[in-house]
Each structure stands twice: as C-alpha cells, then as structure tokens.
Structure 1
C-alpha cells in the first residue's frame, strides 16, 4: 500500500508520543539523568522535535555530529503534541493553503509552532518519496514542551550506534527489528488540514 505524501508516523501510546532530539553530552546527559531539560537548556529559542527516529539519525549522523552526540527520546503528552499541531503554521508559503505570502508571514510570526515536511529516510539514510514531520516549537510552545508536556527523557545513543553498526555490516533485518515501532499517528484530519501543504 502506498504511503500518503504527508503523514505523521510516531511511536505512541494511549497518552504519550515519542519525539527525538540530539544535543551535546553537556545538555543531553543531565536531561536524561533529571528526566527534564536542565536550566542550561534555552527556553527562549526555537527547538525542533522529530517523531521519526530515522530522520533524527539522518540529522545527527547517528549521533556522530558535533554537538549532537547525545540522542534523546523524549516522551511527551499527546494532548501537548496535538496542541502544537493545532497552533502550528507551515514553515514555508504554500499556494492554496495560505491566501497570500503576507498572510502566511503574519501567521508564521504569531504561531508558537511551525511544521516542516522533509523526506523520510531509510536505514541507509537515503530520502524516501514520502515526507516526515518536523515540528518547531517557540515561545509558549517551548515552555510548555519543557515544563508541562515532557513525561520522560531516555538516552537512545547506544541504540543508534547498534543500529548503525548492523547497517554497516549489511544486517538490515536485525537493524530493522531494533527500530522503534512507528505507525501512523491518529491526528484528526481537521487538525492537519492547514499543515498538509
């Protein structure tokens, strides 16, 4: 069955959804230890969360890029995630979604969250023909993410290294078995209509 061009795929349970971020060990390790982002974590700047494990691996080079050596799985409340989606604006102008470029700019300026759809990745980190959600949080959304929505923070750097090693040895079946089980996220169509581009 062909996948939709834009679809949120994530590991989620009844009340939480897992998103990924990567930081330097100076930020990542205290976040895991404390189960919340430390005071050094900037609440006044935009932060991007990614429900796709493989897209995060592409972005951080399996945890090898400088400043992204600690790969975190952040479990957040689904009601918070859905609040961010409802209040988000596409990061780029799309004819037919926005009345005009000026209207899009005004909406983007007001929105506490923004959405970008980037090609999903496979185990070799090659782009796929369908897209993966990146959710940028700023202002109120960042504060809610850090102080209200975050339920748990896990270090998945060892998992990233193990999967990368298996891919390097050509054992794609074992690598696939270790991947987080991501499935289509049941967001209501009306909640995503303004984000599909």
Structure 2
C-alpha cells in the first residue's frame, strides 16, 4: 500500500452495469471504418497485429499526446466491452514482466506461456491530468490472435469518437483551467473482475 491508501496495481475504469470502457487511438482510416461498422474491420485494421487496450483515460492521453502525437494516433476512441468479454481477457492474461511472475521463478516456463498467450498484461505508472507519473499503476492489455478476433466480433458493444472531447480537456489545461478540466474526466473506479 502507498501513502494514498490505493493498491499499487488496481484496474480502474469507467463502467456501468452493461459495459466497461477501454480506449484506443488510431488513424483516420481505422477510426472512420470502426465507427461506421461498430467494430474494427480489416482492412484497414490489421487483425494479425497485437492491439493494446487501456481502461485509463489519462494513460491513453499520455500515450497519444491528447491525439496530437502522430497521425496514427490522432483519433481517440472509447470502446465499450461486455463484462464477460473483459473478464475473459483478464483470465487469459500473462504478465509481460517475468519478475512479476510467481511460477516457481521459472523463466523458460514464463517465456513459453507469454509466447502462447493471446493476452499480454502490462502495468504502467498511472498519470495525472498534467500527464505526470503517479505512484500507482494502471493496466494496459495487449490482444492478439483469437483474442483480437473475439474482441472485434463478440466483445465490443459500442465505439465512440472522443477526440474532440479529449482536446477540449487539453484546451482547458492549456488555458490554466485545470480544475474545470478535471470535472470533465471520466469517473474511473476500481473494477472487480466477475468470476464465472
């Protein structure tokens, strides 16, 4: 535990009884096609590459530079997933850092498991609204192979373009209206994985 009483690693997300929200940032082509179809389709989305989803809004802003980092991340999408799908994702996940594994300290076993797993879990420092590191971590999840297929065909409920919304928050920050910007942030809370 840390000074603020929060666990170092905890899934924090915006969610309702119907869905949990994750974020991704893409090019115009991928974003437009995803919004048109209500899911990611190939082409232009590449079903054979690992795709990373992030429940933390501010970590997505950090990663994409508020949608201004590069043309491949200029459109920020909020993707609502079924709770069952997200639980399945977490259950399949293998940590990407062997030092965090507790499997008899067997690095070869870990290498085998991470190579075979369709879901890779990474814990990164959470960010505040100015994108400074916080003293606890947020999850990002890499999907590949069958996990990408199920993500696109079964787990996505809705996709929303939040690029303008994100840039409105950034504009308030740039105008030294940080408190007003904070009021617009998604309400992210500890997410308990539902066991089947």
Same fold (TM over 0.5): yes
| Aligned position for 1:169 | 175
- Could you tell me how far 1:77 is from its partner in structure 2? 0.7
Q: Is this contact kept in 1: 2:47–2:149, CA < 8 A?
A: yes
Give the conservation status (yes or no) of the 8 Å contact 2:41–2:152. no
Aligned CA RMSD, in angstroms, stands at 1.5
Q: Following superposition, which runs of at least 4 residues in structure 1 exceed 2 angstroms of deviation?
A: none
What pairs with 1:19-34 in structure 2 (closer than 5 Å)?
19-34=22-37
Match of 1:11 among 14, 18, 28: 14
Question: How many angstroms does 1:94 deviate by?
Answer: 1.9
Paired residue for 1:93, among 79, 94, 98? 98
Query: What displacement does 1:156 show?
Result: 0.4
Q: How does 1:63-102 map to 2 (within 5 A)?
A: 63-66=67-70, 67-94=72-99, 97-99=102-104, 100-102=106-108
1:38 equivalent in structure 2 = 41
User: For the residues of structure 2 that align with 1:36 and 1:182, how far apart are their CA atoms?
Assistant: 23
Q: What is aligned with 2:141?
A: 135
Q: CA deviation at 1:34?
A: 2.3
Structure-2-length-normalised TM-score: 0.93
Equivalenced residues, count? 190
CA distance in 1, matches of 2:36, 2:69: 22
SS for the counterpart of 2:157 is strand
Q: How far, CA to CA, are the matches of 1:45 and 1:86 in structure 2?
A: 21
Matches within 5 A, 1:99-114: 99=104, 100-114=106-120
Given that residues 101 and 110 in structure 2 are in contact (C-alpha distance below 8 angstroms), is that contact kept between their aligned partners in structure 1?
no
Alignment correspondent of 2:60: 56
> Equivalent residue of 1:85, what SS?
helix
Q: CA deviation at 1:95?
A: 5.5
Partner Cα separation in structure 1 for residue 75 and residue 101 of structure 2: 40
CA separation in 2, counterparts of 1:95 and 1:10?
22
Determine helix, strand or coil for the equivalent of 2:166: helix
Specify the SS of the correspondent of 2:99: coil
The answer (yes or no) to whether the contact 2:20–2:83 under 8 Å persists in 1 is yes
> Which of 162, 172, 188 is 1:156 aligned to?
162
In structure 1, the gaps of 5 or more residues are 192-197
